Amino acid sequence: MLPTVSSPSTRRERQHLATVEEVKAVARDLMARDGTGSLNLRAIAREMGMTASALYRYFPSRDAILTALVVDAYDAVGSAVEEAVARAPVDTTCTAILAAAHAFRRWALDHPQEYGLTYGPPVPGYEAPEQETAAAKMRTNIVLLTLLKRALDQGIVRIPEVDIPARLRPGLRTLDERVPGMPLPALAAAMQFWMVLYGAIAAEVFGHMPRPLLAQAGILFDRTIRTALSVMGVAPEALTAAISPKF
């Protein structure tokens, strides 16, 4: 995203950064092959044809590598979703929202281990430092909230002004810091949409759907998201006109 503060001018600095990237790439590959649990320094070093101790030139500890992977993963979903939205037309249908949802699912299916690292249960014996990961984690949420706001402004989504319980209000208010100007019922609806989106993806990636349906999970996913949109007051015509990406 943002360029690093000090531009890596010298050759050495560039090679150093390249190796840092290689470490992460190899770690990702190992995770993809053997699962999150077996991610260890020695395996990474082995794969790179190095000694384990050499890795300490690039990361101060094993946990630092994990944190870097977490940040990268959040950034990767963020990018994938952002790009999908950028490619979608700004029309009066839900095509863009569907594109975002499908991009999220696609990334999760393509990177199940990284998805587990970020959107699964907390990794035992490791807690990702909020401060370092928060910004990256926020990206996807911001895209979704921005889309919802745009849909509200365009009149595609119409959320009735129901009463929101007092206890929910302060929590919901913190949601729109980054995408201000949304009414409380819309924020509540956004949270419900998030739960549906999260569940539809996690259930598939983590294998908690009946096996015979797993192969057709894409269709179910699309239907589920469309249902969630209709709940948010999207008119049937706008939904019918909306195009889902191939899945």
Selection from DNA, a copy of itself, none that 53 binds (CB < 5 to 8 A by kind) is: DNA
Rounded-to-integer distance, Cα 49 and Cα 109, Å: 30
Residue ranges in contact with DNA by CB under 7 A: 10-12, 15-16, 19, 38-43, 45, 49-54, 56-57, 61-63
Q: Which is nearer to DNA, 60 or 155 (CB)?
A: 60
Query: Does 244 engage in binding with a copy of itself (CB under 8 A)?
Result: no
Closer residue to a copy of itself (CB): 88 or 189: 189
When the beta carbons of 13 and 83 are compared against DNA, the nearer one is 13
Q: Residue 73: CB partners within 8 Å, gap ≥ 6?
A: 111, 114, 115, 117, 118
8 Å CB contact between 104 and 140: yes
DSSP annotation of 125: T
Say how far apart CA 180 and CA 59 lie, in whole Å: 38
Of 22 and 194, which has the nearer Cβ to a copy of itself?
194
Tell me how far, at minimum, the Cβ of 230 lies from DNA, in Å.
Answer: 48
Tell me the CB-side half-sphere exposure of residue 100, using CA atoms within 13 A: 25
Question: Three-state SS for 108?
Answer: helix
How far are the Cα atoms of 32, 44, 170, 217 from residue 26, in angstroms, in the given order? Answer: 10, 6, 43, 30
Q: Which does 40 bind (CB under 5 to 8 A by kind): a copy of itself, DNA, none?
A: DNA
Q: Which of 27, 96, 205, 234 binds a copy of itself (CB under 8 A)?
A: 205
Q: Which is nearer to a copy of itself, 72 or 88 (CB)?
A: 72
Terminal alpha carbon distance of the chain = 28
Q: Which is nearer to DNA, 122 or 212 (CB)?
A: 122
- Cα maximum dimension of the chain: 62
Q: Which does 175 bind (CB under 5 to 8 A by kind): DNA, a copy of itself, none?
A: a copy of itself
Query: Which stretches of the chain bind a copy of itself, using CB under 8 A?
Result: 34-38, 112, 116, 119-125, 165, 167-168, 170-172, 174-175, 188, 191-192, 194-200, 202-203, 205-210, 212-213, 215-216, 219-220, 223-224, 227, 230-231
